[in-house]
Structure 1
């Protein structure tokens, strides 16, 4: 097999890359959902509207939980493109697609073939976890991109020019003020672990450590200074330690301990390549151990006979998954950080299994995920939502593409590519808009801006503080009304205001407000907690059983009336 690709092959693989990118590009106009994405969008909006770019404000209050770079990024996009859905999503999509290019380059720099680079890039785009972190952009989509850039510059420094190591440290520094020390911890255990395992002290000395550490600490030190100004010593301590490593021991993060949680999360996040990768690892590990034995393997390690093997990518995936399994604060997005490494490793498996190996036993396993995606695509209209004729036309075009291209590329790749592209595109174009229709915050926000322009606060009743999207789309902060005393005080200043509340609480609001107030409905919509949809919600037959109503109302104080409990 030739190491280089022909021009026609290269064009075809680039077409496949574009196809794999379509579901991500289709997310561009989608609404932000509660809580994290809407919260980050709101913080970015307040950064743009304020003159203080070093103090994060969330719903009118100082914010500490996450560092500043993500919010600077979102605010910059808002500044250039306007405050809205597209501007919010542009940075996440752009950095993710740029990291796809870096995955391709890492493959080439680490000794892989050009085709393997394309396969790794496609594998990354088709991973459910990658789609999940882009369709609902949180901090992790930015951290993952900076991690990929860190490894890209590491291999550039190792293979081409050691001065690239400075860019590696800068990417870690940017990751640090995105998510915290984890941006250093992951490269430390994979790159550092590889150097220690192979005892490659020459590489270590070439990595510009003294000056590189200065580059690394520069941005976190700057952010610590501003945190100290706002939160005293607790701000830097929280940023440098509690927010990241506290998840291993702090009671505030001790939700439950499941040592297999992150392995299960990784299984769905990398479902597109999981089955063949597990079979490949199990088979090759068994064969290698059987042929050599543990004693010979340990002797080779002691004799440093693996010094020419690159362990950076395997350590990034498997060593980190092992270590993170001790976290007592399980969140599935922690596994997203290893998806680039999994794609790089899987690209090698695909190149070896589908293009080089004569062993056909592994090949059927590559079809499993693609067939699941295709079945899911055609079952979507049956169980989830009615669709138009174009939905089936695109499905037929996808199957036709598989049949026509099977002579150019292995069927296993085509089935997974087309199946995942159709399935995730269906989510972007059909399911996600359906989902956000049960979070009517954008429609409510438009009506609020029309009826109550220029107001700084939106008032709510019996609404969770997690409903940040209503404040974002109304372009104002929101505050809950809990008692009549507060209602009287606020309505004394202005006798009529808009309010959002669950429709089932309308009677309770009227009872609390009393006869001095009139409640006039403006808008009512179906509502659901869309961030965590259940099976009952997904099924169209039972959806109306789990949804509720949410109302936008005028609360007006009747003229000539005054409350005995009001305070001036």
Structure 2
């Protein structure tokens, strides 16, 4: 066999991965960011205002518009729903996988193409970004698409590739600012430097690409100009005379690097390097092995160009990691847009092991994969069956089917390289199908906002009669009632609420309401926990009640 994967192998894995991704489309949205972004896009759609972005009652000056525009457009086509909100993320993930496939083929040939896309699609952070949807899925797909197209331009000098590359980078910019531009720029410059192809920059086609980039980002710049630059009286983060255009072109990125206006999250310069260990499971170990092997080769040859060698996925990746490691505001999902780059690196490394016959290394990696992924699967299944109620019989049968298939692959005699890919992807399918169909849905039973919305629906409460007490927003309540819930302070309750209106609030807020002047005719009590910060005491059913908050939906009765 002169290839690692058979056609039936990658078709099966793509089908299984598709099932997992689709199963995550119906998980309720998590607070804060995912439900918040969905609510902001919903407001665009409901008010038919695609220029202004609002977070609650305030102008929003942080992420640019593209993610919200795409979600609002999806709502226009499919209606307001959690799965409709996730459609753009899934489409850009598919684009990212295809771009990985083509870029790997460009660098390492057909053997690496499907491995790269399978590596990308089975990375843990990519699964997460498709159900806990923020800006990262769109950013990731657009960034690797732009990189792939610019590599094709450098190699083939065709105008179409330079234009498409510019559009890809522009979409990345319009989704999260300069991060996508920086990643694309560093990777492409490293590719140019190693291949000594600087002359391609001195072409009218690059000028055309720059013009295409400016045209593509102009809608975002225009929207910022209308919302902020034309209104110097607006006070944003305690300042007036704020320029939206200057913010997105400069301030946003450097404010995050210095944590200006943000709470400093980590001073650990190795934060992203060890975060990669879980974010890119099951490929993180192989990533570091591939990175070491590539760096060793480049330094031994003193950066002399060798045909068939590329450093975009190694030196380019490493340079970006070093720069963002100096940021004082770090979050794990900042890594996402680098994952397709190292997916190509991993695919190339595995093909090289295969071609030079390094079976011993592949066997060691396979043994480590067995240990890590078996441990992870046992942990996930334990959490599901111990921490929460038993799954439905249909779901249990699906788990048994996947486990049976996994046992078949484990016991079947085959090439060690083929088994390494099959086992790694199959384990991640099992783990994330279990998480999507049981763990996350059970977790969302403890998020008060969406459960309050369920009560409003099942009890035929008019959503227009619901208010929320100021102090703590509930984005999931807004999204699942399809409206921006009006906010009232304690002093405004008797002036704003009418007999029969409802108030949503949390237990610590209820204690501050004077019982002698305000009363309630009906009360619904709802369990609540910050589910994006799961703790051992919450997972443990014996200690869960002790860490739960309470939220309430109260029917107002004037005294």
Report whether the alignment pairs 1:464 with 2:472: yes
- Which residue pairs with 1:136 in the alignment? 132
Distance 2:349 2:541 in 1: 40
Structure 2 counterparts to residues 288-327 of structure 1, below 5 A = 292=300, 297-298=301-302, 301=303, 304-306=304-306, 309-327=309-327
In structure 2, do the counterparts of structure 1 residues 206 and 107 end up closer, same or farther at CA, with 3 Å as the change threshold? farther
Report whether the alignment pairs 1:242 with 2:245: no
SS of corresponding position for 1:366: helix
- Whose radius of gyration is greater, 1 or 2? 1
In structure 2, do the counterparts of structure 1 residues 276 and 250 end up closer, same or farther at CA, with 3 Å as the change threshold? closer
Deviates more, 1:20-29 or 1:79-88: 20-29
* Contact 1:123-1:347 within 8 A present in 2 as well: yes
Deviations 1:317-345 (A, max 9, x none): 21111111111101111111110011110
How many aligned residue pairs are there? 536
**Which residue of the other structure, out of 165, 187, 205, is the alignment partner of 1:168?**
165
- Which residue pairs with 1:502 in the alignment? 506
Deviations 1:64-102 (A, max 9, x none): 221111111001111111101111111111221222122
- Which residue pairs with 1:563 in the alignment? none
**Which residue of the other structure, out of 2, 14, 19, is the alignment partner of 1:17?**
14
SS of corresponding position for 1:551: strand
Report whether the alignment pairs 1:487 with 2:493: yes
* Contact 1:370-1:420 within 8 A present in 2 as well: no
SS of corresponding position for 1:318: helix
- Which residue pairs with 1:445 in the alignment? 453
In structure 2, do the counterparts of structure 1 residues 317 and 448 end up closer, same or farther at CA, with 3 Å as the change threshold? same
Question: Displacement of 1:350 after TM fit?
Answer: 1.7
**Which residue of the other structure, out of 431, 435, 438, is the alignment partner of 1:430?**
438
Question: Displacement of 1:439 after TM fit?
Answer: 0.9
Distance 1:78 1:145 in 2: 21
SS of corresponding position for 1:407: coil
Structure 2 counterparts to residues 148-547 of structure 1, below 5 A = 148-160=144-156, 161-206=158-203, 208-232=205-229, 233-253=242-262, 255=264, 256-282=266-292, 292=300, 297-298=301-302, 301=303, 304-306=304-306, 309-354=309-354, 356-383=356-383, 384-388=387-391, 389-390=396-397, 393-403=400-410, 405-407=412-414, 410-448=418-456, 451-453=460-462, 455=464, 458-461=466-469, 464-465=472-473, 467-484=474-491, 486-491=492-497, 494-503=498-507, 505-509=509-513, 512=514, 514-547=515-548
Question: Displacement of 1:393 after TM fit?
Answer: 1.6
* Contact 2:257-2:327 within 8 A present in 1 as well: yes
Question: Displacement of 1:235 after TM fit?
Answer: 1.2
In structure 2, do the counterparts of structure 1 residues 219 and 162 end up closer, same or farther at CA, with 3 Å as the change threshold? closer
Distance 1:98 1:285 in 2: 29
Distance 2:506 2:542 in 1: 23
In structure 2, do the counterparts of structure 1 residues 437 and 334 end up closer, same or farther at CA, with 3 Å as the change threshold? same
Distance 2:496 2:221 in 1: 38
Distance 2:194 2:410 in 1: 46
Distance 1:421 1:349 in 2: 23
* Contact 1:459-1:481 within 8 A present in 2 as well: yes
Question: Displacement of 1:462 after TM fit?
Answer: 6.7
Deviations 1:195-228 (A, max 9, x none): 2344312332357221211111123333223212
Distance 2:311 2:55 in 1: 42
SS of corresponding position for 2:501: strand
* Contact 2:147-2:187 within 8 A present in 1 as well: no
**Structure 2 gap ranges (5+):** 230-241
Deviations 1:227-252 (A, max 9, x none): 12221252112111111122223532
In structure 2, do the counterparts of structure 1 residues 522 and 451 end up closer, same or farther at CA, with 3 Å as the change threshold? farther
* Contact 2:4-2:354 within 8 A present in 1 as well: no
SS of corresponding position for 2:52: coil
In structure 2, do the counterparts of structure 1 residues 394 and 176 end up closer, same or farther at CA, with 3 Å as the change threshold? same
Cα RMSD (Å) = 2.6
* Contact 1:247-1:328 within 8 A present in 2 as well: yes
In structure 2, do the counterparts of structure 1 residues 507 and 334 end up closer, same or farther at CA, with 3 Å as the change threshold? closer
- Which residue pairs with 1:566 in the alignment? none
In structure 2, do the counterparts of structure 1 residues 210 and 279 end up closer, same or farther at CA, with 3 Å as the change threshold? closer
Distance 2:208 2:358 in 1: 49
Distance 1:250 1:430 in 2: 37
* Contact 2:259-2:329 within 8 A present in 1 as well: no
Deviates more, 1:62-71 or 1:364-373: 364-373
Deviations 1:389-425 (A, max 9, x none): 4365235323333146543663322321221111111
SS of corresponding position for 1:27: helix
Report whether the alignment pairs 1:115 with 2:111: yes
TM-score, L = length of structure 1: 0.87
In structure 2, do the counterparts of structure 1 residues 317 and 524 end up closer, same or farther at CA, with 3 Å as the change threshold? same
**Structure 1 gap ranges (5+):** 559-568
